[in-house]
Structure formats: structure tokens, C-alpha cells
Chains A and B, each alone.
Chain A
Amino acid sequence: MIAVPKEYQFSQKHLLGLADYSRDDIAYVLNQSERFREVLDRPVPKIPTLRDKTIVNLFYENSTRTRMSFELAQRRMGADVVNFSASASSVSKGESLRDTIQNIDSMKMDMVVVRHKSPGVPHYLTRCVDSAILNAGDGAHEHPTQALLDMFTLQQKMGSLEGLKVAIIGDIAHSRVVRSDIIGLQKMGAEVLICGPSTLMPLYPETLGAHVSYHLEEALGWADVAIALRIQMERQADVPGRIPSLGEYHQEYGIKMEHLDMFPDLKIMHPGPINRGVELQDAVADSDRAFILDQVTNGVAVRMAVLYLLSGSSESDASSRGVASGQTSK
């Protein structure tokens, strides 16, 4: 458990990015996630908490694990789930984002989980509809639930985030995970270092507020935990010449067994999906010092906690249900 002031109250309405969340907000979400993690180990891993909620997963960009993880979290809490993917919808017929969301809103959705290639789309949606909006990744801006599950896993495995040294390695320039991770980890008192070839670094890396290194071994020697990022093959095609070849990237920035031997306390994480033999050597991905599959399980718990905490916010007027009274039932 992370200490939160006694008088603290969670009062966020959306999850657009960790930039909007305070240190206490993040600590509270992580603490509550532990309760939901326990549900996943029950004989019947299902609770009725959101059974009166309808949630739409609005995915304008491909995603397997984030969408599955959100959907599983929603179904584990009994919510009705509607999935929308841009490729198989009226978007291909030319409907605008705003029209799509307003149509969806007319069907009375309580919460919207959105992924989009353009940064700022989740924020834009908050101005179009009353539903609670959860960002599942917007361009290279933020991916807050990924950062929350990374922090939850670090807290669980390393005991504390305070003073922890986390190196993030790979395609820093294109990564939304990096931005959310840096913001979140620094708020929680951890130190972050980013490392990658200069062609995959943003123009002014120091503005991210993290330490910067261009040498893998220097980064790994410094860190308690290394988060390897996926080389986004689909974006490499758009930007030829950022890395000479995948083989050369692996040679210079891939984490290999020799590194685990060289730094015996180093632990490994990866947001997935892994390109084996690129960011991580096969044996590293499968080693017991990699928390990659824990991250996946924890992701469901963290998303359940976020959905739970934000599910109150779409009810602007509880008394309209005609049941409100100050009396708590015993």
C-alpha cells in the first residue's frame, strides 16, 4: 500500500493522461487496483459492480492486448460492452469522429474507452459527450493505463516506487508509453532514464525530464528495472533509415542474457507485443527476471480499478434515480 492522506478524495471524472493526475490520485488508483487484483484469483472471478453500465470501446487504431484487457476488465465487472473498430465501421464510409461519438452517445453509453492515432482525441471527446472518457492511447501523447499497470507491477515486485531507478529503452520518440511512464513514475518518486539510438530519441530528450543515455550498458548498470519498448515495425516503414536493420538494433540496444549476467539484480519489463530477437533476446523474455506476463495480468486489475473509480462520474445527478437519501443501509 502507498500512503495517501486520510482526507484524500478521488474526484477525477476522466482518465485522459497521467499529467492530469496528482501523486495522490495515482497512489489511490494503485491501492484500489490491489483489491481488484484479488478478484481475478477467485473461483468465480466476476463481480456485479458495473452491471448497470454500458461501455463502448472505440478503437480507431489496432490493438489486441489493450482492447482485450479493457474488455475483460469490463466483463469481469458485469458491464455491457460494445466494441467499435474503425476498420469495420461507418468510419470507412466517411463518418467524422464527432458524428460517430454523438451517435454513440445517443445510445446512452456511460463510459467511452478510446484509442486514436491523433493526440488529443480523448480530450476532444470530453467536450462532445457527457460520458466518462478513458484514454487507451492517443498518438504519441499518453497511454495512462499502461503506465498505471507498469507502476502497479513495479510496486508489487520491487516493494516501492520511491527511489526506484527505471530505464526505458528503445523507440522513445514514437512512444506514448514512455511519456505516461515518465510522468507517473516521477510523480511517485522514482527516477527515470531514457535510452536509445539518437535517431529514435525525440529532438530535445531532456525536456521529458528524465536522464538520457545513448549506451545500453550504461543504462542497464544504472537501473533497477529496464522497460524495453517495442520497435514499431509499422512506423519504421514510414520513416526509413531510423535504424539500419533490426539485427543491428538488437546488437546495440537489444537486452541479452549476457546483460542479465552482468547486472544480477536487473529486472525486465516490456509493454508488449514483444519482437523476440529485437528488443529482447528470446531467453531474456522467458527468464524469471522478466515481469512481462505479470504486467498483462495486472493490466486487467488496474483497468478494473480505473473503470470502477470513474463509473461514478457519469452520474451527474444521482437523486434523479429517486433513491438518494443520506441514510446508509446496514
Chain B
Amino acid sequence: MTQNAMNQTYERFAMQILENYDSAPYPALIGMQSRGVFLAKRIQAAAKKASGMHLDFGVLDITFYRDDFRTKLKMPEVKVTDIPFDLYDRDIVLVDDVLFTGRTVRSAMSAILDYGRPRSIKFCCMVDRGHRELPIAPDFVGVVVPTKENEEVRVRVLEMDSEDAVDVVEMTSDGGEV
């Protein structure tokens, strides 16, 4: 996926998310660490550009809520969480780069519910690569990419990876690229 295609997707997300809202409070975006944060920022910018609407924006790190860090030897670094608005009775759109097993989104929902009681939570992702392990479905999807278990979907963003792109990479069993 190229930068151009990604930009069109942000614009589509903005339109879809704002559909049916003609007055405030508009839905609020919460980007998931790390790359979801940058995708959410782009959607926020696209909404501003298309309709002049300002969407509240927050950042969520789900490390505290993960169910998989017991399987690793090192405790993962905890990143910033910053939700600078009141979630109560708001419509929330969670934004992440890739939807895979669904476990990260599950954790994110637990985390959000600890901040307050939103009216609704929807989920937006750039890539849905399948292989769900939990009953979770995205509300807004960039592209659906059928993948094999040993492939990795890499969403790259300018701020972290010096380019905007989406690639599918096949991995060997020891974690190297084919």
C-alpha cells in the first residue's frame, strides 16, 4: 500500500466516522501505541480538512492489560497513556494499525473502561489480516489482507519509520525475513 492509497483511506475513515453526526459531541479518537497514534492523528487531520470538525484525541498504551507478557522473559516497556478528555457518555473510535488475533483490542477495551463509561467504542484499523482468536470485528477497515500465520504485516509511518507504507513480509521460523 502506498502513501497515496493510505491518505485516501484516512479521508474515507474521516467521512465514515463522522457519518450521522451533525453536531457536537463528535466521536473522539484514541490511537493505540505505537503506530495507531500516528494513524489517529492523520484521521483527525483529515476530518478537520474535510469538514472543519475537531475530534478529541487521546493516546493509549495497553501494556498493563496485556495477556501475553507472561510468555516473554522481559517485561515490555510501558509507553505513554494520555486521554485528555472525559470519556463519559462519549462515542470512542479506537485506532490501530493491524488487526490480527484481536487480543490487543480486547486489552484496549478493558483499559478504556477503566477511564470511564463511554457511550460506545468502535474500532478502526488500517489492515485486517485475519486469524482472529476472539469474537472481535472492526467497524472501519482500510484493507483486508488474507495472510499466512508466518507472514507479518508492517504498517510504516513517517514519524517512526521514515516513510508511509504497508507491506506483507514472510518470516522464517527464527524470526528473520525470507
A residues adjacent to B (C-beta < 8 A): 9-11, 32, 35-36, 38-39, 42-44, 46-49, 52, 77, 308-309, 311-312, 315, 318, 321, 323-330
Q: Are A309 and B75 in contact (CB under 8 A)?
A: yes
Does B99 make an interface contact (CB < 8 A)? yes
| Cβ-closest 4 pairs across A and B | A330-B100, A47-B64, A35-B78, A329-B103
Q: Are B70 and A35 in contact (CB under 8 A)?
A: no
Q: A45 CB to closest chain B CB, in angstroms? A: 9
A36 to B74, CA, bound (A): 18
Q: Are B100 and A318 in contact (CB under 8 A)?
A: no
Query: If A47-B64, A48-B65, A318-B70 touch, does A330 touch B104 (CB 8 Å cutoff)?
Result: yes
Does B68 make an interface contact (CB < 8 A)? yes
A51 to B110, CA, bound (A): 14
Q: Are B114 and A35 in contact (CB under 8 A)?
A: no
Q: A51 CB to closest chain B CB, in angstroms? A: 10
Query: If A35-B81, A326-B175 touch, does A47 touch B71 (CB 8 Å cutoff)?
Result: no
Does B50 make an interface contact (CB < 8 A)? no
Does B49 make an interface contact (CB < 8 A)? no
1/0 per residue, CB under 8 A from A, across B135-178: the answer is 00000000000000100000000000000000000000111000
A35 to B77, CA, bound (A): 10
Query: If A43-B114, A44-B115, A48-B110 touch, does A329 touch B100 (CB 8 Å cutoff)?
Result: yes
Q: A290 CB to closest chain B CB, in angstroms? A: 29
CB contacts (< 8 Å) of A323 on chain B: these are: 68, 70-71
Query: If A11-B74, A309-B75, A311-B75 touch, does A329 touch B114 (CB 8 Å cutoff)?
Result: no
Which residue on chain B has the smallest CB distance to residue A39? B64
CB contacts (< 8 Å) of B175 on chain A: these are: 326
Q: Are A10 and B65 in contact (CB under 8 A)?
A: no
Q: Are A321 and B70 in contact (CB under 8 A)?
A: yes
A309 to B80, CA, bound (A): 16
B residues adjacent to A (C-beta < 8 A): 61, 63-65, 68-75, 77-82, 96, 98-101, 103-104, 110, 114-116, 129, 133, 149, 173-175
Q: Are A42 and B71 in contact (CB under 8 A)?
A: no
Q: What are 23 contact pairs spanning A and B, CB under 8 A?
A: A10-B74, A32-B78, A35-B78, A35-B80, A39-B64, A43-B114, A47-B114, A49-B65, A77-B64, A308-B75, A309-B75, A312-B73, A321-B70, A321-B71, A323-B70, A324-B71, A326-B173, A327-B149, A329-B68, A329-B100, A329-B101, A329-B103, A330-B98
CB contacts (< 8 Å) of A43 on chain B: these are: 114-116
CB contacts (< 8 Å) of A330 on chain B: these are: 96, 98-101, 103-104, 129
A35 to B98, CA, bound (A): 24
CB contacts (< 8 Å) of A315 on chain B: these are: 70, 73
A38 to B149, CA, bound (A): 36
A160 to B70, CA, bound (A): 34
Q: A302 CB to closest chain B CB, in angstroms? A: 13
Q: Are B100 and A32 in contact (CB under 8 A)?
A: no
Q: Are B70 and A42 in contact (CB under 8 A)?
A: no
Query: Pick the contact of A325 from B71, B75, B80 — CB < 8 Å?
Result: B71
CB contacts (< 8 Å) of A46 on chain B: these are: 114
CB contacts (< 8 Å) of A42 on chain B: these are: 114-115
Q: Are A328 and B68 in contact (CB under 8 A)?
A: yes
A38 to B100, CA, bound (A): 29
Q: B42 CB to closest chain A CB, in angstroms? A: 19
Q: A131 CB to closest chain B CB, in angstroms? A: 16
CB contacts (< 8 Å) of A312 on chain B: these are: 69, 72-75
CB contacts (< 8 Å) of B71 on chain A: these are: 318, 321, 323-325
Query: Pick the contact of A32 from B74, B77, B98, B116 — CB < 8 Å?
Result: B77
Q: B145 CB to closest chain A CB, in angstroms? A: 12
A325 to B82, CA, bound (A): 31
Q: A41 CB to closest chain B CB, in angstroms? A: 11
A225 to B97, CA, bound (A): 46
Interface centre among B75, B80, B116, by most A CB within 10 Å? B75
Which residue on chain B has the smallest CB distance to residue A47? B64
Q: Are A48 and B81 in contact (CB under 8 A)?
A: no
A330 to B138, CA, bound (A): 13
Q: A195 CB to closest chain B CB, in angstroms? A: 37
Query: Pick the contact of B114 from A36, A44, A324, A327 — CB < 8 Å?
Result: A44
Which residue on chain A has the smallest CB distance to residue B150? A327
A308 to B64, CA, bound (A): 9
